Amino acid sequence: MLQWNKTNDVLGTTNRGTPVESGLCSLCRADCAGRCETWLSSLAGRATLYPRDFGLITAGGGNTCQVGVSYNALRIVGRAYGATGRAQGALADGDDCLFTNVGLAASFGAKGQLRARLPLLTGALGSTMIAARYWDPLAVGCALAGIPIVIGENVVGIDRAAVLAGGKIDSAPELDRRVAIYRRYGDGHGGIIVQLNVEDARNGVARYVIDRYGPEVAIELKWGQGAKNIGGEIKVADIAYARFLKARGYLVDPDPDDPAVAAAFASGAVREFARHSRLGHTAARDAGAVREAFLENVAFLRGLGFERITLKTGAYGMEGLAMAIRFAAEANLDLLTIDGAGGGTGMSPWNMMETWGVPSILLHAKARQYADLLAATGRRPTDMAFAGGFAREDHVFKALALGAPYAKMVCMGRAIMIPAFVGSNIEGVLFPERREKVSGNWDSLPKAVAALGERPEAIFAGWHTLAARLGKEAMREVPLGAVAVCTLLDKLGAGLQQLLAGARKFDVADIARDDIVAANRETARETGIAFVTEAEDEAARKILLA
């Protein structure tokens, strides 16, 4: 297994825990005092695009010997002439070809296009406690940045205040809270997607959503995710709550109604209970049965009135991938999110995460290949989002290029949650009366934060841009975690613009497969991307021999 560097001397960043390919720690803590690249980018924004201590240093890259098949083994192409930009037409004037003029707006959908200011959407933020605690800064930040947010599975089912009448949802306060906070700051870009798993379908969540919010909110069917190959889980430390969840129809392990388990809990031998969802399509015996059930489910949702329907699938094998691509196209869905192994989670069995499923780059490469096969039959492949271990702007570029022209979006989960943690911790220190409400974990500012200042205006590089847009009075109500989310997303956007400009692409919609090359032949073979010295080799020889 490759080992990733814990420190980056050029950026002045370090990982508290064990770093993975995304640059995040394998275990990311909400109370972390820093300072990985994503953590620092949530505060300093675009400054983290460049080496530190300008004027005192020179810097040299060392990531030039890639081993194995991974996104890291893809390299981004730079070009010496030309300019392509769908938004601006044919660009020729060098004064127009500035990286700040690169268009980042994205859209997806079979009919009415859902627009976003960046080609990003969140991973599903569902019933885990960490998603609930930090929902406000996440939702506000994503709404202000203009990217879609996904309300994950089981949010209604685990809500003690939710009312079920005859086994169906009659009221869902937590779901309503999540929708309301995003809508308050939305401006027509982005949008809300509510995820629907087996339990949610049983509880009538889809009908509740359409009756309350209409077709404005999209619905997402869930087949799986990259972090696990069983249903969603959470942990609870209250035996009464565990019994409540069991009564709601969930599998709870160990069984809180078992007298031996109750005795073990009372003695402290058992401290937590795991709540699990059911597996989908267990009655199906072949792909045909899955197709029939899936298309029937989509028809039911369309009958309710949903205009936008998406599908999230996990790191299953090639048959599962092909089913998702073919059935999504048949159902004329708006987005298919494909989450590879290496994807993040708020709760999954650890050794399952480490050993199950198809790694992201292999899954995504096959998804693109299969989409081509489907398109050759005359069917339109569903717009795709790639997910599974992305955190930086170069990850976004590579994923979109690998999946072009079908990949329209990149799905980020853990990376977008980090600024919500950091900003909430800072807010809890600067405004102690808010600490509990914002789930702040710090008693004082860490050295890395205090070095930037002691006021939000000094700490967050993105604060003044938001203040100019919203007004300083309105900024009093914006969670500092949301400011941090916007700061990070601005950095990712600027970095993506720079990479696109270097490839002479002045609109993200123009990104193509030949904008990346493979740094080793194994990666070239597995992805279909040209090996670095073979790409453009024919054109090079023509120049030399002319």
pLDDT at 168: 83
Looking at every residue in the chain, the average pLDDT score rounds to 93
Between vectors from CA 69 to CA 66 and to CA 72, what angle results, nearest 5°? 50
Residues 277 and 124: their CA atoms lie apart, in Å, by 15
Other CB atoms within 10 Å distance of the CB of residue 523: 27
Mean pLDDT of 194-207: 91
Judging by beta carbons within 10 Å of its beta carbon (0-12, 13-18, 19+), is residue 367 exposed, middle or buried? buried
The HSE-up count of residue 538 (CA atoms within 13 Å, CB side) is 1
Distance CA 38, CA 29 (A): 13
Please check the confidence at residue 509 and state whether its pLDDT lies above 80.
Answer: yes
Give pLDDT tens digits for 270-312.
999 998 888 888 888 999 999 999 999 999 999 999 999 999 9
Give the C-alpha separation, 149 to 193, whole Å.
6
pLDDT at 88: 53
**pLDDT band (50, 70, 90) for residue 346:** confident
- Confidence at residue 242, expressed as pLDDT on a 0 to 100 scale: 93
Based on its alpha-carbon atoms, the radius of gyration of the chain, rounded to whole angstroms, reads 23
pLDDT at 345: 83
Dihedral sign for Cα atoms in the order 203, 209, 212, 215: negative
In whole angstroms, give the CA distance from residue 96 to residue 375.
Answer: 36
Tokens of 251: 């599998």
Quickly state the pLDDT bin for 232 (edges 50, 70, 90). confident
> Tokens for 121?
């959407």
**Band of residue 2 on the pLDDT scale cut at 50, 70, 90:** confident
Containing 397, the helix (H) or strand (E) segment is helix 393-403
* Contact by Cβ (8 Å): 484, 137: yes
- The residues near 23 (Cβ < 8 Å, ≥ 6 apart) are 4, 15, 36, 37, 38, 391, 392
Q: What is the mean pLDDT of the segment spanning 21-46?
A: 93
What would the pLDDT profile of 406-443 be if each residue is shown by its tens digit?
999 999 999 999 999 999 999 999 999 999 999 999 99
The structure tokens listed for 485 are 């989310």
- Rounded distance, CA 52 to CA 44, Å? 11
**Is a pLDDT exceeding 70 seen at residue 329?**
yes
Tokens standing for 104? 């980042």
Is residue 92's pLDDT more than 70?
no
pTM: 0.95
Whether the CA torsion 65, 67, 71, 73 is positive or negative: it is positive
- How far CA 18 is from CA of 6, 15, 390, in Å, comes to 7, 7, 16
Average pLDDT, integer, range 33-59: 93
Q: What are phi and psi of 225, to 5 degrees?
A: -150, 170
Residue 463 pLDDT exceeds 80? yes
Query: For residues 323-340, b (16+ Cβ closer than 10 Å) or e, as one string?
Result: bbbbbbbebebbbbbbbb
Which residues face 336 on adjacent strands? 311, 384
pLDDT over 60 at 343, yes or no: yes
Q: Is 338 helix (H, G, I), strand (E, B) or coil?
A: strand
pLDDT digits (tens, 9 = 90+) for 111-162: 778 999 999 999 988 888 889 999 999 999 999 999 999 999 889 888 889 8
> What confidence tier does 180 reach under pLDDT thresholds 50, 70, 90?
very high
Indicate the range of 63-67, 175-179, 218-222, 432-436 predicted with least confidence.
Answer: 63-67
- Long-range contacts formed by 471-478: CB under 8 A, 24+ apart: 478/140, 478/144
